[in-house]
Structures are given as C-alpha cells and as structure tokens.
Chain A
Amino acid sequence: MSRRAVGAPLSRVDGRLKVTGQAKYAADHPADGVVHAVIVGSTVSRGRITAVDTRAASALSGVLKVISHRNAPRLAYHRNPSSNNPETGERLRVFQDDRVRFRGQPVAVVVATTPEAARHGASLVVVRYDAEQPSTDLAGAPASAPVTYARGDADLAVGSAAVRLEMTYRTARNHHNAMEPHATIARWDGGRLTVWDKTQWVVGTQRELAAVFGVELSAVRVISPFVGGAFGSGLRAWPHVTIAALAARMVGRPVKLVLTRGQLYSGTGYRPAYEYRLRLGSDRRGRLTAMVHDIRAETSSYEDFRENVLAAGQTLYSMPHVRQTYRTVPLDVNTPLYMRGPGHVTAAYVIESAVDELAHELGIDPIELRRRNEPAEDESNGMPFSTRRLRECYTVGAREFGWERRAPEPRSTRRGDWLIGMGMAAGAHGTVRNPAQARVVLDARGTALVEAATSDMGPGTYTSMTQIAADALGLAVRAVEFRLGDSGMPRTPAHGASQTTASVGSAVQDGCDKLRRQAIELAVGDRRSPLHGVDARHVTVSAGRLHVTADPARGETYQRLLARHGRARLETLGLFEPGESRFSTAAYGATFAEVAVDHRLGLVRVLRMLGVYDAGRIISPKLAESQALGGMVGGIGAALLERTITDHRDGMIVNADLASYLVPVNADVPDLRAIFLEGADPEADPIGVKGLGEVVHIGVAPAIANAVFHATGRRVRELPITAEALL
C-alpha cells in the first residue's frame, strides 16, 4: 500500500525550479522582438496636466514612442465588477484625460528598444501641472456615508455597563512589498492579446483587459505560472497592465513593463490606514455586554475600496449588543486593496487589544476572559458553527507556550535592561468558497496532468493540488503534474482570501474522483480485465494499480487498462459548486508572543512566538508551517516596523523603498512555532479544509502589542509601535 500524499510533509514540487532560477516570473518570459516601457508618474497629487514635453525623450536613441493622454487612443473601459474592482467608483483610466488624482499616477510612458533608453527617456519627459492642494491625511478628513450594522442597543448597553472602556486605535498604511515587483509583458497578434503578468488571478486580469480594450474575452489570454509573493497585491489588474497592452498596440511590438520598487507604492494597492474607535461594556466578571465600533479608513477619490473589517466585531465574542459604523475617507491617493487578512487583521488588532485592556482592568487572565465570552453560535446570523475549536487553541497554546509562567502584573519581569512580557490574541477568518473547475487527464503511461487557472503566490498550490490529485487518483506524487496560471485553463476564483485549497482543491478532488471511477467502470465492465464483474465500490486504486480492495493481488494498472482499450487518455472536468451552508464556518487561531523591551531605549525584541490553529484538514503540513511562520513574520512587521509614510503637504510617500519601509529582517525573527489541531471540517467543503493563509496573520500584531503592554505597563494604541512611543 502506498502512503497517502495528503498530510505528508512534502517539499515544494516546484522548489527545484525556483532555487535553480528556472521558474519563469512575469518579466522572465521570452517574447520575440520585445521592447521596454517605463512609466512617468505625476509629481503632484491633485490637479491637471497643462503640458507634456516629450521632445528630449523622443529624440533619444532607441526611444520608439512617448505616450500620454495627448496621443493615446480612447479606450472602451467597459464596466467590470468581476475583477476585484470596487463596486462603487470608476477605476483609473490611463491616459484618457488630463486629471491627476494621486501622486505617482501614470501620466506618460516611454517605450524604447532597451530598458536603459526607456528609463533615461522617462526621466527626460517634462510634465507641467496646474496643481491643487491635495488631501491625503485620514485624520480630520471628511468621510463618506457609513456602512452600518447593529444588534441590540449597543449605545445604551455600553452606557449602563458595570465596566466601560473607550479607546481609539490607529494603524498605519501598509504595502504588500512582495519580493517580485509587478511586471507585465503584452503582445498583440492581430486582434488577440497575450499577456504575461504578475497576478493572483489570470481570469480576473483577462476580464479586465477585455473590458478595458472592448474585446471579446476569448481574444485575451493571460499567463502567470509563478508569482514571487503578492499578499494580495496581485488581486487586481493595475493601470500598468493596461499601459503595457496599450503601448504594445501603439508600437506594434511586444512590450515589457516592470514597475520599480518606488512605483509599486503608487502603482498597486495597500492596506489602508485606519482610525478605529471602540467602546465596550462588560460586567464585573468580564462578560461582554456590548461593543460600539466606529471605523474610518482611507480610500481614493475615485473608488470606494472596502474590506471585511466588520466580521470580527460581530462574531469573535458573544455579546447581545453590537453597533458598527464603517466609513471610508476619500483622499487624493491611489486605491487600496486587499492585503493578507484584509479587514480582519485591523479589526483583530483593535478588538484583541481592547479585550486585553479589559482583562487587565478586571484583573482576569486574558485567556480566561476570552473563554468567558466564547459564543455558542454565530451571533451575527444564528447559525451553528461547523467547527470552532478556539478553546482548544487556547488550551494547547497556553500549555505549549508556558503561559502559566506569566506573572499577572505588567512590568513585573526584568532581565537586566530588558522588561519581559507575554501576550496573546485570537483570530478568525470565515472560510471562503467559490465555484471552481479543474481538468484531469490520465495518459497511457499512467501519469496524470491536472490543470486549473489558479495561482501559487507562495503557499504551495502546486504541491497541495498534486497531493490531493495523487491520493484521489491512486497515483504516486511523482506521477502527477499540476499546472496553473493560464486563463485558457478551467476557471477558478481569485487566489486570495484563503479560498484556493477549499475551492480549487475540491474541484481537483472531484475531477480525480470522477476519473478514478471512470477507470474502474471501464475495468469492471471489461471481460479481459482481472477486475471484470467486481462491484465498482469494491475496487481501490493505489500506486497506479486498480485492484479489489480486499484482494490486492487481483487487479491491473492504469497503463494496461488504457492500452487494452486503445485509449490515449482518460479526461474529466472536476467541478466545485459550494451550496448554501447551514453552518458558520471559519478558521481560528491563537497567537502567543513573548517580547523583551529595553525600558530605557524603547527597543522591542520579539523573543518567541507560537501560533495554534484550527484550520480544518492540513493538506500539506510542511508548507502549512511555512505559511504560518510567514504570517507571524508579517505580523512582527505590522506590529513593530511597517508603515507607509506620506508627507501630507504634497502627498509624497517619503519611504517608498525597502531601505526605509521596514520589513522584518532575519535578525528580527525569533524562534517561531506553529501547531495545527488535527482534524477536518466536513461541512466546510468536500476536502475538509477551512483556509489558512489569512488566519495565520490575523491576531499576530495584537499578540505582540499585548506582550509589549505586559512587559512595560504601557499601552500603545497605534501600529507600528515605535521607539519614541515607549521612551
């Protein structure tokens, strides 16, 4: 019997390609006759373009064309709600008018035969503006009408609560800052467009390009086999994708466009900055009665970006009264976008900090307080939970982390110049499932090819899909190849919101199940097969061989079966269509952190962290662990380092590079450990997974912030926590 692939700690099946440089990222694809484009960004944040002087750039050797709103064709820009474009507002239409909406907005593009000439040319384009004073500061800026939620009477309940707390928390704008910059290669063959792009959703980019250029969907093909990290930034087709395609059409040659690191700060989205006021009421025993959430977040002047910042306040803890208002604040900035755990990360920081504050106020252990407020059902909709094992996460986490060694009183543990503290926080992320398809082909050699138009930005889609397919087909892992990243492949949802394994994995499972059954039917109905006449339900496939479950000696291989039937291949299309669920399903986690704070110098060092997760079935434990460690590292960044800083006088981002936008380096990352509760959630989806990529990042920053409070006795209600806040 072969071992099962699902649950085995496999290394990445694409690991060798990556470490040997053979994996082709967006800008790596060869395209005959390719030329290069460099964007000229606006140097003002608001106003009108009054002149574009392209003479010096055009005169440069190698420059083919300088494109701006002066000479660009009008594009169709059909409405397209299906590519993660915000529901409200109009997307930025590149080179369609003279209006400047944010600093760094593309106002021209230089196309040249070499990247050097294009870059030099871009620096020679002189653009003049009629500039207006921009508004880029969330603080004090007017907001749009709120989205609201209410149950009970939260204002009244807070007002009459035995214990009341009121706090305002602030979080900085964060950029995704994946290693691979966004890049696009575009080529027209007559009326057909092929694009190699960094994207988490080839289908979304395909739809957007079809809508922008007013061509049939079938005329656009988007290819993206490898993504060098994304964290959400690849969930929309950004203006530069259109620019590459537009430039390719105008010069009649394939065009490659790679954003510089600096351009990524205005050319793609970001996690918006928030101001989040929370009022809560509880009884003296720490039972929450009410929370009032008043939330403000930045968005652009032209699109109303919103994310799921309300869910945590409705479902994380039991309480009869909740009121929420969520206002976006339109500013002269580019539009934000989902970033790992969008909305949930921010809400968890606020709620988990506030709960920690309440625990301190009441002198109750923070875990005990959380236990007292654990809901019995999803109080936002009355549904039962399919699985919710947060209590187990607390128990296992407390035990493994040594929580009992935590002195209840803050600022009570000191080692030399360092104050030591422990903190923890919970997190939840509702399981997202969407329709997906996967094609499965078994060939005469007995090897399988499985395809779906999904993506692998790092979590290991290639590997986990291979594992699911191998088990379902009864093949060894090496006999299965999984391909992704081409819009011509079967449709899948966006590779985000932790839905890929649940959705695409379920489609792969279905397609492989169908194919296996098809082969079995073929065998049992075949007089020449040793399996002839056996009840199909009593046939198993393992290691590429079909056999009677109770009599492994009786059977034959896929190869023999197909050869005898003169079949070159068997092929099926796997489908996943999530139905209406009767359950509330989410992944849960508890993150623990121990920090040291230099009490004189304001330095914070994370000493160790532990995450315990209830995420359903773990398909690929080694990569799941990697994902959890990455989620914790990202949380260290959000808690202590990461912030995009805007000079509000003119909208300039002053730290638009990786030397000054600080992400954790190895020295900042201590001993990290991840534990996954064993089990599966059969109600979640056919393969029992609940999603992992988001939940491992949600709750990390508040765990650290709570540990800083425990170490120092000082509550900093703003992220990142800087040295000056602790002096």
Chain B
Amino acid sequence: MHPFSYTKVSDLAGALAAGRRGGRYLAGGTMLVDLMRESVERPSVLVDISALPLGEITATAGGGLRIGALVRMAEAAAHPSVRAAFPVISQALESSASAQLRNMATIGGNIMQRTRCPYFRDVTAACNKREPGAGCAALGGFNRAHAILGASEHCAATHPSDVAVAFAALEANVHLLGPDGERSVALADFLLPPGGTPQREQAARPGELITAVEIPAHPRPLRSGYLKVRDRQSYEFALTSAAVALHLRDGVIHQAKVAAGGVGTVPWKLPAVERLLIGERPSQALWAEAAERAADGARPLEHNRFKIELLKRTVERQLRVVGDLAGGTA
C-alpha cells in the first residue's frame, strides 16, 4: 500500500473541486481499498464522497426510477419501489457479494467496479489494463472466469457487476456531474469494451462524478428476474448470469429486455435474443430458439469454452422462469 491523503467533502461543489485537482472518489471503499492494499491502485488523494446528498431513490415521471449514486446496494435491493417495479434489480443485488459488502458498497461504485481478473489484481503479472502495453497474461493463462464476448487481443477481463447486467437489460442511463455540468449517458455507452485501450473502462471525463442511475419507464406489467450461475451459492462472481424483463399483452411478448453477465467485458445486451421473442407467444420452443442466439459472436479462450453452452442454458432457463411469471408458458 502506498501513502495517500484523505479528505472528506460535504457538498457537490467541494467534491468536483477536489476531483478536478486529481482526487480519487471514495464511496463504500469495498473495491478501491482492496486494490490499494494490493498496490494495484495507487491514488495519492482520496476524496470521500459518502456525505454527499446522493442517497435517494425517487420515482420519475412516467414510471421510471432514479437511484442515487450513494444508495447502498442493500438499500436499493430492499427498496419497495425497486422490488415492486424491477425485481431483476433486487435479485441481482441480492446475489452480489456478501451482506456486509452490500451494506457498504454503493450503486455508483458498483458500476465503477473493476475486474476480478487475477492477473489484473497481481501486480507481478502482465496486464494491459493496469499497465498499458505490458501484455495480457490472462489470454494464455488461467482464463476460466474470463469473457467470451467483447474481448480484444489486449484484454478479456469481465465486468464483475451483477446489478449492471440488470441495468443494461433495462437500458438504464448514468447521470454524471462534472466541471462542465450535468450530462446523461446510456449505461451501454458508459461502460467501455477493452478494444485497444483496456485501461479505459468508463466514458467518464476527468473529475466527473456519477450522481445517479436512472431506469427508464417500461410498460407495465413488467415481469423480470435475475439468474446467476456460480460455483458456490453466495459470495461469488457469476460464471454466467441472465437478466430478463418481459412485458406481455394478450399472451404475446410486446417487450423483451435481456442481458447477460459473467461472459462479457461489459454487461452484455442480447438484442438478437430480444428480437426473436417480440411478437411471439411464450413456449419452451421459443425460449430455446431465442437462447440459442445468446452466445452469438462468442470467442472462447482455453478455459472458458464451457461458457458458450452454459450461457445459452442460463438465458433459456431465465426466459422460462420470467415467462412463467409473465403469464405462463404454453
């Protein structure tokens, strides 16, 4: 661990000023402090933003939700509006980390979460994300947990978040506040695939702060749920996961939102699956046919080939589970 200074800010202006001077924002600290201990992160100034007024969950006009960046994972999971409108968010959160971590970690921090790639987390290994141009030890190493989708020749690290997969499925937006004011970016555009710059993980500008994640309104009733496949039953990252939200009208699927986790360098939206579902009536055959497209474009590495089949089965399973909720499978 390297020496650093610590300052706590009480308002947004103070935070932005400290951020502009190069300070690193600290919220729950459940990831950044870990990485500092391993010398993976070496910030010289930590700006504690936990006292900022970003801890509210509010309904938006039209039926969406705005979740403040500093809402704790546990709070968001338990919030009645979240549970009522978007069970997929609650379920994703509740399948994340441990109860202790969920009590500390925030929604904004969760999106900013860095990968669990062991070569990223060990400073003696080659990692382009940590040290651009150093090479990637994972591509030829133990890459069972790595991405089959969205990888480049420079990096195949997965984005580890569960709730970001739910957010991606629901086409959430990220609200940012920076020196140049406020802006809103689609989560799909905010989290960046590695390409040639794996060190750049988000489309945030220097000093910018996440203020909220906004879930747009979706037609009601929306049935949704999250399935996480993992080696142990709690406190473990996904091998594969699926976030599914369906809206049926007169027995026909009018809206389908599907994303996958554990398989992509970013939360992986599955538009090909969604397209096959819309306008169709639920059936086992439909789920299977749609899920067959879940791994389109997948490029496996030595140890994660199984994820292609596992992803398809995960999506198929969760389509069935949510489909049954949404009005039954013929």
Contacts and interface: CB of A to CB of B under 8 A. Distances in A.
A and B: bona fide binding partners: yes
Q: Mostly helix, strand, loop or mixed at chain A's interface? A: loop
A600 interface: yes
A197 B124 CA distance: 30
A724 B230 CA distance: 11
Q: Mostly helix, strand, loop or mixed at chain B's interface? A: loop
Nearest to B142: A654
Nearest to B240: A601
Interface string B305-330: 01001100110110000000000000
B317 A665 contact: no
A723 B306 contact: yes
Interface residues of B, number: 29
A602 B235 CA distance: 18
Contact of A641 (B1, B231, B306): B231
Interface string B214-239: 00000000000000010111111001
Interface stretch (B7-15, B115-123, B271-279): B115-123
A123 B122 CA distance: 12
Interface in A588-620: 600-603, 605
B181 interface: no
B310 A652 contact: no
Contact of A116 (B1, B116, B124, B306): B1
A221 to B, nearest CB: 34
Interface in B16-40: 39
Contact of B3 (A120, A649, A652, A668): A120
Contacts of B232: 640-641, 662, 664-665, 667-668
B125 interface: yes
A603 B231 CA distance: 7
B229 A723 contact: yes
Contacts of A87: none
A539 to B, nearest CB: 58
A722 B232 CA distance: 10
Interface residues of A, number: 31
A359 interface: no
B2 interface: yes
A123 B36 CA distance: 12
Interface in A436-494: none
Contacts of B133: none
A175 B130 CA distance: 28
A641 B309 CA distance: 21
Nearest to A42: B124
A660 B306 CA distance: 19
A409 interface: no
Interface in A698-726: 722-724
B284 to A, nearest CB: 12
B22 to A, nearest CB: 20
B298 interface: no
Nearest to A663: B232
A601 B313 contact: yes
Nearest to B233: A667
Nearest to A600: B313
Q: Which of A600, A664, A666 has the most CB of B within 10 A?
A: A600
Contact of A123 (B2, B119, B310, B313): B2
Interface of B: 1-3, 39, 116, 118-119, 122, 124-125, 137, 140-142, 229, 231-236, 239, 306, 309-310, 313-314, 316-317
Given A647-B142, A727-B306, 14 more contacts: A120-B2, A120-B3, A123-B1, A123-B2, A601-B229, A647-B141, A649-B140, A649-B141, A652-B124, A652-B125, A654-B118, A654-B142, A666-B234, A722-B231
17 contacts: A43-B124, A120-B2, A123-B2, A600-B317, A605-B233, A640-B231, A641-B232, A649-B141, A652-B122, A652-B124, A654-B122, A662-B231, A664-B232, A665-B232, A665-B233, A668-B233, A723-B229
